[in-house]
Amino acid sequence: MINIRDKGAQVWENSGRTGRVAIATLVIAVVASLPFMGGTILNTPIASYESVLVYPIAMFVLMAIGLNIVIGKSGLLDLGYVAFFAIGAYTMGLLGTKTGLNTWEILPIGIAMSMFAGLVLGVPALKLRGDYLAIITLGFGEIVRIVALNLGALGRSEGIIGIPTPPPVFGIEFSFDSHRIYYWTLLIMILLAIWMVRRLSARRAGRAWESIRQDEDVAELLGVPTFRYKIWAFVLGASVGGAAGVIYASKTLFIAPDNFTLQISILILACVVFGGMGNIWGVILGAVVLGYLPDRIRFLSEARLLVFGLVLVLMMNLRPDGLLPRKKREKAIKAKEAV
């Protein structure tokens, strides 16, 4: 089987500085021009292609990158990631309709809120055995939804209506139907998230996470403050989810508890695993495929989700490490030694 990831990594590593800039520019240009491909085979039936690009695709990519910090990098199984998305969205909804703050001012508040929630959940949850984290996070995701469903201030089941769109930036208007503008905004956020993750992975935090993922007990024995790094991974992951939530709310103008079900957590988790846990490019690919697929195969109508399930089973069996699996560090080291 051809290993696309290794091929890609090879090309990247063998290029000089100018080569790398050229590759990155080309890739970004191609991705940024996706909204113009509506007329091609990429088009989605019924659902609007451009809005599918924004939600779910770009939004899923952003969230998957965030969840990947938690699961892929440090090996913590989080089944309630939607909670942070919801907290970001509700912060936007509440502050956007009740105060004069605009989206860009709320964005840091939303991120801070979800990071705080990550901390509140993480401190007790991460002290527990790894296996239990799954159910605790799953429960937390549901709790956030249930609280939104039952608190009058959050609009209960009716949700929050009339959330404002972001104010113009450099003269670019954000109208609710200018999907492209939102898509490009998300693209910038995705690039920032990728940059952040890559920076961290190459440093102390990345090595600490890697050691936790491989064997927590050994890492602890070797003096890695595992608990602190786990909290860090959790809170950073939450921040990305919160940012996605803020943008989501100011795009859809209307949020309700129904938007934040457990299914979203599971889908994002599926994106991460399906694409290739731990490898950011794989995760992105996974999110693109799983976000896009259900709308592309709408012609199957009734059997759509059935086929989606089949794809999950088949793909996991054929490529258990995902479409673009993580680099096998050991292998890479051995190869270097051989040279």
Residues 76-115 within binding reach of another protein (CB under 8 A): 77
138 binds another protein per the rule CB under 8 A: yes
Do the Cβ atoms of 137 and 67 come closer than 8 Å?
no
> By CB under 8 A, which span of 26-34, 103-111, 147-155, 202-210 interacts with another protein?
147-155
Of 9, 23, 32, 135, the one binding another protein by CB under 8 A: 135
339 binds another protein per the rule CB under 8 A: no
> By CB under 8 A, which span of 17-25, 29-37, 144-152, 220-228 interacts with another protein?
144-152
The candidate with the shortest Cα–Cα distance to 67, out of 309, 287, 314, 325, is: 287
Q: How big is the site for another protein, counted in residues (CB under 8 A)?
A: 73
2 binds another protein per the rule CB under 8 A: no
Q: Which is nearer to another protein, 240 or 271 (CB)?
A: 271
Of 18, 29, 40, 131, the one binding another protein by CB under 8 A: 131
Instruction: Report, in Å, the least distance between residue 170 CB and another protein.
Output: 24
125 binds another protein per the rule CB under 8 A: yes
String of DSSP letters for 243-287: HHHHHHHHHHSEE-GGGG-HHHHHHHHHHHHHH-TT-HHHHHHHH
Of 156, 228, 328, 334, the one binding another protein by CB under 8 A: 156
Segment 285 to 304, residues that bind another protein, using CB under 8 A: 295, 298, 301-304
Segment 229 to 288, residues that bind another protein, using CB under 8 A: 252-256, 258-259, 266, 269-270, 273-274, 277
For residue 83 the two structure tokens come to: 């909670």
Give the dihedral sign, CA 178/98/255/103.
positive
Interface map 176-195 toward another protein (x if CB under 8 A): xx-x----------------
Give helix 59-68 / helix 226-252 axis angle, nearest 10°: 170
What's the N-to-C CA distance of the chain in angstroms? Answer: 24
For residue 270, the Cα-to-chain-centroid distance in whole angstroms is 11
- Going from the C-alpha of 101 to that of each of 162, 163, 175, the distances in angstroms are 14, 11, 17
For 324, phi then psi, to 5°, come to -125, 90
Instruction: Report, in Å, the least distance between residue 22 CB and another protein.
Output: 34
By DSSP bridging, strand 160-161 and strand 254-255 are antiparallel
> By CB under 8 A, which span of 173-181, 188-196, 220-228, 327-335 interacts with another protein?
173-181
173 binds another protein per the rule CB under 8 A: no
- Going from the C-alpha of 136 to that of each of 81, 258, 263, the distances in angstroms are 11, 21, 16
41 binds another protein per the rule CB under 8 A: no
> By CB under 8 A, which span of 5-13, 27-35, 47-55, 219-227 interacts with another protein?
47-55
